[in-house]
Amino acid sequence: MKNAEYYSNLHYRAVQYFDPDGYWIAEHPELPGCKADGVTAQEALASLEISRELWIESSLAAGLEVPEPVEIPQYSGKLLLRIPKTLHRDLAGEAEADGVSLNSYIGMVLAGRFRRNETTLSAQTPVVALATASQEELAVIR
């Protein structure tokens, strides 16, 4: 049987967000209810380490299963995208006018759109990588 030390040495994903009450919240999504807060993001993360230890110890003591971290998928940076021919033509024309490849141009357009919309995220939207964002969180960016 795996002990508390085993689980404590695993790398659980941490998600942080700023609460409207003026505190930073940090949590481990894989460990239901394992949360901590702090005046700063760093303080919330430090408190989360303690919360994780206590969460693991109390779960094991109660005979409950402790989930292991979910592996975050790795992305190659390649994406196959089907778009209308007219949009493809227009994007290629814009890329040529800017003197860059179509791939570079589309990457810049997407990155620019993401940066413009970052400020529209609500205070409750966790600070997470898009790779781990839910469909509802991604909808906010669109």
DSSP category for residue 37: E
Per-residue confidence (pLDDT) for residue 139, from 0 to 100 = 43
Q: Alpha-carbon distance 37 to 16, whole Å?
A: 9
Burial 111-140 (b: 16+ CB within 10 A, else e): eeeeeeeeeeeeeebbebeeeebeeeeeee
Percent of the chain exceeding pLDDT 90 equals 66
Confidence (pLDDT) at 114 = 67
CATH topology of domain 4-61: Double Stranded RNA Binding Domain (3.30.160)
What is the domain partition of the chain in residue ranges?
4-61, 85-141
Asked if pLDDT for residue 107 goes beyond 80, the answer is yes
Q: List pLDDT tens digits, range 32-88.
A: 999 999 999 999 999 999 999 999 999 999 999 999 998 888 889 898 989 999 999
User: What mean pLDDT, rounded, does the chain reach?
Assistant: 83
Tokens linked to 18: 């700023």
* Average pLDDT of the segment spanning 81-100: 95
Question: Could you tell me what percent of the chain has a pLDDT over 70?
Answer: 80
